[in-house]
Amino acid sequence: MKTISENRCFGGVQGVYTHPSAATGTDMTFGLFLPAEAENGAVPVLWYLSGLTCTHENAMVKSGAQRWAAEQGIALVFPDTSPRGEGVANDSAFDLGQGAGFYVNATQDPWALNFQMWDYVTEELPRLLFNAFPLEEGAQAITGHSMGGHGALTIAMSFPGRFASVSAFAPICEPTRSDWGRKQFTAYLGSDETLWAGHDSTHLMRRFGFDGPMLIDQGTSDQFLDLLRPEALAAAMTERRQGGIVRMQKGYDHSYFFVSTFMEDHVDFHAQALRG
């Protein structure tokens, strides 16, 4: 692992690091904010998964999350959204290929060689982080935006007991019935739709639910609202009688202006869950 940068931030340190990944077969970059408390021992950690076209940097720079995480003594992890580099498969469309890993393990050519983002985010990167930094493995929460909200929800429901809480900003809620999902799942996973269900938060909610608190914020003026399908997840939560909060925020769109507006709420929400 190599240090790209480390900057003092709200009494803690915002770092950017790169490392060779066995899962993706490429070098991967991530951001990690450590609050001041990490100088004296392990701290809880909040994962933030970013959306389409993003790198590790977007939320790290635009969300304002460090301020609120510093107040709560929580670390923040900002993974990249896909493998990158020369020789890594790509597509001319913004919603497929580099920057659009969808947090799945691809099985189809040409994506299967490098696009193993599920294993990277759920197995490889956690091992690296908990071995190299003062983080509490037993005190994790997860959030994300758009494609990253999809990833946060599906990962949280697929690993019972790992995360104390889950939240999402404008998540892709039913990708198996949306062009943001069907296109990518066909490319990455093939045409057998039975293999897609494990990466659909509405399906997972109906089947498993989540064993902790949930918070979802969605803007009513989101330009991608028809692709996100929050009503499907809300209906599944109601059918299952899942504890959780779904908020439709009047007038907000899909941008980081929306994310940063409600970031304090989400960090405080996770801090309360992480404290037990």
- The question of whether 56 is a catalytic residue gets the answer no
Active-site residue, selected from the candidate residues 50, 222, 266, 270 = 222
Q: Is 202 helix (H, G, I), strand (E, B) or coil?
A: helix
User: Which residue in the block uniquely carries the two structure tokens 């799942």?
Assistant: 185
Cα separation, 241 vs 36, in Å, equals 39
Q: How far apart are CA 223 and CA 204, in angstroms?
A: 26
> Distance between CA 184 and CA 225 in Å, rounded?
18
Residue 165 designated active-site: no
Does a cis peptide bond (omega within 30 degrees of 0) precede residue 110? yes
Catalytic residue, from 145, 150, 203, 254: name it.
254
Sign (positive or negative) of CA dihedral 148, 61, 246, 244: positive
For tokens 């490098």, the residue is 114
Which residue from 168, 121, 161, 122 is spatially nearest to 139, judged by alpha carbons?
161
Is 254 one of the catalytic residues?
yes
The DSSP bridge pattern shows strands 27-34 and 12-20 to be antiparallel
The residue from 146, 165, 167, 201 that is catalytic is 146
| Residues with a known catalytic role | 146, 222, 254
